[in-house]
Amino acid sequence: MTCLALKPHPDHLPGAGAMTDSSAPHPARREAKLYSRLRAGRVRCGLCYRKCVIAEGERGYCRTRQNIGGVLYTLVYGDLSALESRPIEIKPFFHYWPGSTALTFSTWSCNFDCPWCQNHHLSRTPPGESDPSRSPQEILAIAEQGGDQGLCASFQEPTLLTEFALDLFELGRSRGLYACYVSNGYMTREALTLLARSGLDGLKIDLKGPPEVYRTRCADIDVDHVLRNARAARKLGIHVEIVNLVITGVNDDQASIEWIVDQHLKFLGQNVPLHFTRYHPAHRCSMPPTPVSALEDAVRTAKKKGARFAYVGNVAGHRLENTYCPQCESLAIARSGCEVASFRLDQGFRCSKCGTALPIVGGYVEGGVVRRPHG
């Protein structure tokens, strides 16, 4: 079977269309931060680059925003579909707070429609009217009680939870917790800037493939916005890592891999980590898993073109999950699955053999103790 691509359709999700306007406000319903009013009671959402124009009583493409009386509301403030403490390496972030854990949370739905979605039980489910709402203070307390070093919005597209994340990340920053997104990178520049101001300092972006992959398989997305957001995030001081899920028969050909690498180097440079991760059948895709050799070839291509930190992902125990010094090729950080097995950089996060500084952000966490670079 092939990986099906669906054309965008305004009613593609369950529960689409108008939603009953209850006179009793629900705690998950808050006025949206980014929108503009148009004629005839319509509004234009400014959260992601779809920029949906939404008529009175209707929801946007992602089904988490509704126009009520000419005011755009988010329907998912604190409406969490998952909450779990997870290692930062599983995101994957390899150069950002290695060894740490982040309290990871998500809401419902998505602004993309990827046929291979690994979390489709969340991304294809719209929010419900009766879903409970949790406060930022409650989530922060859970993170602190669990000993997490950070907060992470993930599992489905976190852009849809931005109003909640803005409040939570600001609270977290005041208590010394880092904040990150695992995202498709399609938020507007205005949304990205608000997030950076609130404390977002880590952004992992899934780069799906060349423009044709985005256009035909992700419901008519313009990849240029994703690439420009990645570059803008770095300029805002946000740590960025890029992941390409290498999908059998979709984006695993050499031309696609070279396009990914070329755009990565053009927009982000040679020091930003680039991960090539293994696809497994999910959702509407039943092609066989990516051959490990294809991932290894992708890493070789990336390094040949000048990327200094290219990784294989979703292959536990593979040597290319480790970080090596780009100067002398000594093992710098050894990983076992989603855990750091050994951290071999000195106190300044330099190679212990040749002294080359590696771009590691934050601190290294071992046994709950944070070690920050100095010297």
**Section 275-282 average pLDDT:** 96
Residue type, 108: W
pLDDT at 18: 37
User: ∠213-92-321 over CA atoms, to 5°?
Assistant: 100
Q: Is the pLDDT of residue 6 over 50?
A: no
Q: Is the pLDDT of residue 23 over 70?
A: no
**Burial class of residue 267, CB neighbours in 10 A (0-12, 13-18, 19+):** buried
Q: Is the pLDDT of residue 52 over 70?
A: yes
pTM of the full structure: 0.93
pLDDT category, 15, cuts 50, 70, 90? very low
Extract the tokens encoding 88.
Answer: 């930062």
Query: How many CB atoms are closer than 10 A to CB 215?
Result: 14
**Section 22-28 average pLDDT:** 65
Query: Which positions ≥6 away from 173 have C-beta within 8 Å?
Result: 179, 198, 199
**Residue 282: phi, psi to the nearest 5?**
-160, 155
Q: How far is CA 221 from CA 7, 109, 131, 204, 218, in A?
A: 11, 16, 30, 18, 6
Domains of the chain are: 30-74 (no CATH), 82-321 (3.20.20.70), 323-359 (no CATH)
Distance of CA 329 to the CA centre of its chain: 29
Residue type, 206: D
Extract the tokens encoding 264.
Answer: 């990565």
**Section 166-193 average pLDDT:** 98
Bridge partner residues of 324 (DSSP): 331
Instruction: Report whether 126 contacts 64 (CB < 8 A).
Output: yes
Write out pLDDT tens, residues 97-151.
999 999 999 999 999 999 999 999 999 999 986 677 999 999 999 999 999 999 9
Using alpha carbons, select from 150, 165, 146 the residue that is nearest to residue 106.
165
Q: Is the pLDDT of residue 19 over 50?
A: no
CA distance 80 to 19: 20
